[in-house]
Amino acid sequence: MTEYSSSPSGFVFDLRNEERLLESGYIMIRNLLDEEEVSKIRQSLETSEELQKNAFGVADENGKASKLVIWKHPGNDVTGMLGRCEKVVSTCEKIIRGSHKCGRIEHKKVGGQTGADIERVELIKKKFPLEHVEMNPGDALFFHSNLLHASNANNSDLRRWTLLSCYCKASNDTVTPHCLPSYTPLRKVPDSAIRECTSLDCSGKEFMDPEKDVNIKSTSGDKGKSS
């Protein structure tokens, strides 16, 4: 497993880290967020009325539903600071090491979500190892956009929060109008921004409407209900 630990002074992503990321398709950084930062982000997710109002359910291939809320821009609240802070620019994730070298695999509808072609995935698993990446609160997994990854259903009695930040090069902007956002410059903020931010204002996030997104299908009547 390609794994590092963050220190109180932070984590510096250097050429060696980049080479390992390109080789394996991912790196994991332990303790990227400390307990105070994790607590603040969790509190924001649990108490923000705007996030709860824009959440919706999505079923997997077994009919079990996950609760999602998706936004196009980070905004200026605590969760937006996470996606923009210098050190950033899931409980247990499954990844297929090196699978990003196969290029982009065609995706199809799997339950209410979009997933890689299962037949292709099974063939790739014969050539590349499946790894289980066990993570603790505050750990972060950085991976290539083409790396095959998934997570099993949460069968425990504990809530599993996963906060995903997705980035795209300015040179890879959409050609035609799309449900995903077009390129907008991302202004980085210092690592201290998560602790210092007190805003719960989500007005700048531009929440996604599940009825207009071609990649997912929400479970009927679930939008706005908390879980």
pLDDT in tens, 147-204: 888 877 767 777 778 888 888 888 888 777 666 677 888 888 998 999 999 887 887 7
Average pLDDT, the chain: 80
- Determine the average pLDDT of the residues in 39-64: 83
Q: How long is the chain?
A: 227
Spatial contact of 118 and 105, defined as CB atoms under 8 Å apart: no
Which of 150, 25, 146 is CA-nearest to residue 92?
A: 150
Query: In sequence order, what are the residues at sequence separation of 6 or more whose Cβ sits closer than 8 angstroms to the Cβ of residue 179?
Result: 208, 212, 213, 214, 215
3-state secondary structure of 140: strand
Model confidence pTM above 0.75: no
Residue 65: per-residue pLDDT: 72
Residue 227: per-residue pLDDT: 40
CA distance between the termini of the chain: 33
- Kind and range of the H or E element at 124? helix 118-125
CA 16 to chain centre: 24
- DSSP assignment of 15-44, as one string? HHHHHHHHHHSEEEEETSS-HHHHHHHHHH
CA 67 to chain centre: 14
Residue 193: per-residue pLDDT: 92
- Determine the average pLDDT of the residues in 98-117: 77
